[in-house]
Amino acid sequence: MRLRNRRDRRVAAALALGIALAVAAPLTAGASQPGRSPAAADPEAVGQYEIRSKSAPSERSAIAATGVSIDEVKPDKLVVSADRSQARELRTLGHELKPLPAPSREPSASAAKVFDFPSADAGYHNYAEATAEIDRLVAAHSAIMHKQVIGKSYEGRDIVAVKVSDNPASDEDEPEVLLTHHQHAREHLTVEMALYLLREFGDDYGKDSRITQAVAGREIWILPDLNPDGGEYDIATGSYRMWRKNTQPNRGSSHRGTDMNRNWDYRWGCCNGSSTSPRDDTYRGAAPESAPEVKVVADFVRGRVVDGKQQITAGIDFHTYSELVLWPYGFTTGDTAPGMTRDDRDAFAAVGRKMAASNGYKPMQSSDLYVTDGSIDDWLWGDQKVFGYTFEMYPSSNRDGGFYPPDEVIERETSRNRDAVLQLIESADCMYRSIGKEQQYCAD
Q: Which residues bind ligand 0X9 (CB under 6 A)?
A: 69, 71, 184, 187, 261, 319, 326, 328, 330, 366, 372, 375, 377-378, 390, 392
Which does residue 166 bind out of ligand 0X9, Ca ion, Zn ion, none, counting CB within 5 to 8 angstroms by kind?
Ca ion
Q: At what angle do helices 376-384 and 292-302 cross, to 10 degrees?
A: 30
Cβ atoms of 431 and 387 closer than 8 Å = yes
For residues 273 to 312, the per-residue mask of contacts with Ca ion, x marking binding by CB under 5 A and - elsewhere, is: --------------------------------------x-
Residue at shortest CB range from Ca ion: 165
| Segment contacting Zn ion by CB under 5 A, of 54-62, 186-194, 220-228, 328-336 | 186-194
Distances from the Cα of 281 to the Cα of 46, 65, 257, 292, angstroms = 9, 11, 8, 18
Instruction: Name residues whose C-beta falls within 8 Å of residue 13's C-beta, 6 or more positions apart in sequence.
Output: none
Site for Ca ion in 147-166 (CB under 5 A): 165-166
| Segment contacting Zn ion by CB under 5 A, of 42-50, 127-135, 184-192, 399-407 | 184-192
CB of 350 to ligand 0X9, least distance (A): 19
Nearest alpha-carbon partner for 319 in 278, 369, 285: 369
Residue at shortest CB range from ligand 0X9: 330
Task: State the catalytic residue, choosing from 72, 89, 176, 392.
Answer: 392
Nearer of residues 86 and 390 to ligand 0X9, judged by Cβ: 390
CA–CA dist 414, 402 (Å, integer)? 16
CA dihedral over 431, 432, 434, 439, signed as positive or negative: negative
Which does residue 365 bind out of Ca ion, Zn ion, ligand 0X9, none, counting CB within 5 to 8 angstroms by kind?
none
Measured at the alpha carbon of residue 26, what is the angle toward residues 25 and 32, in degrees to the nearest 5? 85
CA–CA dist 242, 186 (Å, integer)? 6
Which does residue 84 bind out of ligand 0X9, Zn ion, Ca ion, none, counting CB within 5 to 8 angstroms by kind?
none
Residue at shortest CB range from Zn ion: 319
For residues 10 to 39, the per-residue mask of contacts with Zn ion, x marking binding by CB under 5 A and - elsewhere, is: ------------------------------
Cβ atoms of 230 and 174 closer than 8 Å = no
SS3 state at 86: helix
Which does residue 328 bind out of Ca ion, Zn ion, ligand 0X9, none, counting CB within 5 to 8 angstroms by kind?
ligand 0X9
CB of 403 to ligand 0X9, least distance (A): 8
| Segment contacting Zn ion by CB under 5 A, of 8-16, 181-189, 274-282, 393-401 | 181-189
Choosing from 95, 163, 181, 184, the residue that interacts with Zn ion (CB under 5 A) is 184
The helix (run of H) or strand (run of E) holding residue 52 is strand 47-52
Nearer of residues 126 and 365 to ligand 0X9, judged by Cβ: 365
Residue 319 touching Zn ion (CB under 5 A) = yes
Q: Which residues of 134-155 are buried (b: 16+ CB within 10 A; e: fewer)?
A: beebbeebeebbbbeebbebbe
Nearer of residues 121 and 259 to Zn ion, judged by Cβ: 259
Nearer of residues 168 and 330 to ligand 0X9, judged by Cβ: 330
Site for Ca ion in 197-236 (CB under 5 A): 219
Q: At what angle do helices 189-204 and 209-217 cross, to 10 degrees?
A: 100
CB of 442 to ligand 0X9, least distance (A): 26
CA–CA dist 106, 110 (Å, integer)? 11
Nearer of residues 120 and 409 to ligand 0X9, judged by Cβ: 409
CB of 131 to ligand 0X9, least distance (A): 23
Nearer of residues 175 and 382 to ligand 0X9, judged by Cβ: 382
CA–CA dist 320, 391 (Å, integer)? 8
CA–CA dist 47, 69 (Å, integer)? 11
Residue 313 touching Ca ion (CB under 5 A) = no
Is there a catalytic annotation at residue 232? no
Nearer of residues 215 and 298 to ligand 0X9, judged by Cβ: 298
Residue 188 touching Zn ion (CB under 5 A) = no
CB of 361 to ligand 0X9, least distance (A): 13
- Is the peptide bond between 266 and the residue preceding it cis, with omega within 30 degrees of 0? no
Residue 245 touching Zn ion (CB under 5 A) = no
Q: Which residues of 111-129 are buried (b: 16+ CB within 10 A; e: fewer)?
A: eeeebbbbeebeebbbbee
Nearest alpha-carbon partner for 381 in 423, 336, 412: 336
SS3 state at 205: coil
CB of 243 to ligand 0X9, least distance (A): 12
CA–CA dist 426, 313 (Å, integer)? 11
SS3 state at 364: strand
Binding site for Zn ion (CB under 5 A): 184, 187, 319
Catalytic annotation, residues: 392
